[in-house]
Amino acid sequence: MKLATIRTADGTRAVRLEGDRLVDLGHADLGALFAEPEWQAKAAAGSARTYPAEGADFAPVVPHPSKVVCVGHNYRNHIQEMGRELPSYPTLFPKFADTLLGANDAIVKPPETDALDWEVELVVVVGKEVRRATEEQAAAAIAGFTVMNDVSMRDWQFRTVEWTQGKIWDSSTPVGPYVVTPDEVGGVRPALEVRTFVEGRVMQKDNTGTLLFDPVFLVRYISTVVTLRPGDLIATGTPAGVGHARDPKVYLTGGQSVVAEIAGLGACTNAVVEEA
């Protein structure tokens, strides 16, 4: 299934893609759907109310997750381009609900940064509460996968050795458009091509099958530290090709378009605009 949260005149709605229509699932958003026991059956059923898929206004797939946990340094080639050693454990940092954008919303460049960068990422969407998950529990807790562009303010990120301040700016991080269930992408350890385009030029290209720490491992690892709840998001890291690692460095400016795409999941397609 391909599931989404869309904005309508009556507020946000959780929907399932069915051909060229979006079927209303009877919940305000996917976070509310995933909190339901046996949410899969309810998602498969839906209701008679539908919306056209073309031109849909996508909200963040889960507008208000209890947590967004991000992983740094999870593709070998990106670690090397940033001049770091391969990690023994995942590097974790948070994002917040206020950070998230819909898949096609504009990315507004804050006037405080001159180093706005792109990062395409596979996102694990949690569909079941887990703490200290076993391998089997971790796999069962994965509702599906979506796309994120982990837009980073590099000048703020590297002010200190801890990255969070460069990653949590309001309304900076597109996520969506769909949550795609594991059965449609080859299981809970999918091998999917990831790409980023800036003004049509390919800037990043890799495959999620090369992640150092795969989705099941990350659910196990993170749930050791904190309870993962339905609707929580785990961003699994970005491959090589970020603007900050280029020589000379390349950053996003107003007037550009950026596309973060993962095969089988869709794309976040965003205009970059200067803050008024």
* Structure confidence by residue, pLDDT tens digits, 44-85: 987 779 999 999 999 999 999 999 999 998 987 777 777 777
Q: Are 268 and 148 in contact (CB under 8 A)?
A: yes
Residue ranges of domains in the chain: 1-57, 62-274
250: CB partners within 8 A, 6+ apart = 198, 203, 243
Question: Does the model's pTM come out above 0.75?
Answer: yes
* Structure confidence by residue, pLDDT tens digits, 165-199: 999 999 999 999 999 999 999 999 999 999 999 99
- Range name among 73-82, 159-168, 258-267 with the lowest pLDDT average: 73-82
The band of 134, judged by pLDDT with boundaries at 50, 70 and 90, is: very high
Superfamily grouping for domain 62-274? Fumarylacetoacetase-like, C-terminal domain (3.90.850.10)
Q: Cα-atom radius of gyration of the chain, to the nearest Å?
A: 18
Of residues 216, 212, 223, 190, the one with CA closest to residue 135: 216
Q: Are 35 and 230 in contact (CB under 8 A)?
A: yes
